[in-house]
């Protein structure tokens, strides 16, 4: 069962599944999460966990990744679920840092899968769309981290707008 799961996430078909998960996360769960409903926060945590596990499975064939990825994924999952249970400033910052690290890693993995030698397929095109959505997600994670570290760093001074 585990070998089949790993085999699936290293195929081109997985790029299409990853795109579906990503679209649901970015365009459905994230906008609804602003309502602060516990169910949506849990659903967001579950979807994030699926992302992390999918990413782990897709990079598990590389030696360095076999050692580094599980520790990052376990830390990211632990911190994400702790934030859901007991949000605090240090946990929010740690969650943002780990989210940024994992999204950057996933973006690299997806770009590598999309741009390997071989024929262009529909799965690769969907993977390219996922990669560029992930690139936007990288910047969203970076902005969120910046907002936690320097609050109101990205707000515009209202006095300057009125001039």
Q: How far apart (Å, rounded) are the C-alpha atoms in residues 10 and 37?
A: 35
Instruction: Please give the pLDDT value at position 23.
Output: 86
**Contact, 123 vs 16, CB < 8 A?**
yes
Average pLDDT over residues 148-156: 85
pTM of the complete model: 0.75
* pLDDT, tens only, 76-119: 888 888 887 888 999 989 988 988 888 888 788 778 878 888 88
Q: How far apart (Å, rounded) are the C-alpha atoms in residues 144 and 9?
A: 29
**Contact, 80 vs 49, CB < 8 A?**
yes
- Domain locations in the chain as residue ranges: 2-161
Look at residue 64 and tell me whether its pLDDT is greater than 80.
no
Residue 49, Cβ density class (10 Å: 0-12 exposed, 13-18 middle, ≥19 buried): middle
């Amino acid at each position: 069962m585990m070998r089949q799961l790993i085999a699936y996430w290293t195929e081109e078909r997985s790029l299409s599944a990853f795109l579906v998960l990503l679209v649901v996360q970015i365009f459905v769960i994230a906008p609804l999460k602003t309502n602060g409903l516990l169910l949506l926060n849990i659903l967001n945590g579950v979807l994030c966990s699926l992302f992390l596990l999918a990413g782990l499975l897709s990079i598990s064939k590389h030696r360095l990744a076999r050692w580094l990825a599980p520790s990052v994924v376990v830390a990211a999952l632990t911190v994400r679920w702790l934030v859901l249970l007991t949000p605090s400033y240090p946990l929010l910052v740690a969650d943002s840092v780990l989210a940024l690290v994992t999204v950057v890693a996933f973006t690299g993995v997806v770009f590598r899968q999309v741009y390997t030698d071989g024929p262009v397929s529909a799965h690769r095109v969907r993977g390219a769309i996922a990669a560029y959505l992930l690139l936007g997600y990288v910047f969203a994670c970076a902005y969120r981290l910046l907002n936690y570290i320097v609050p109101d760093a990205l707000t515009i001074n209202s006095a300057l707008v009125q001039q």
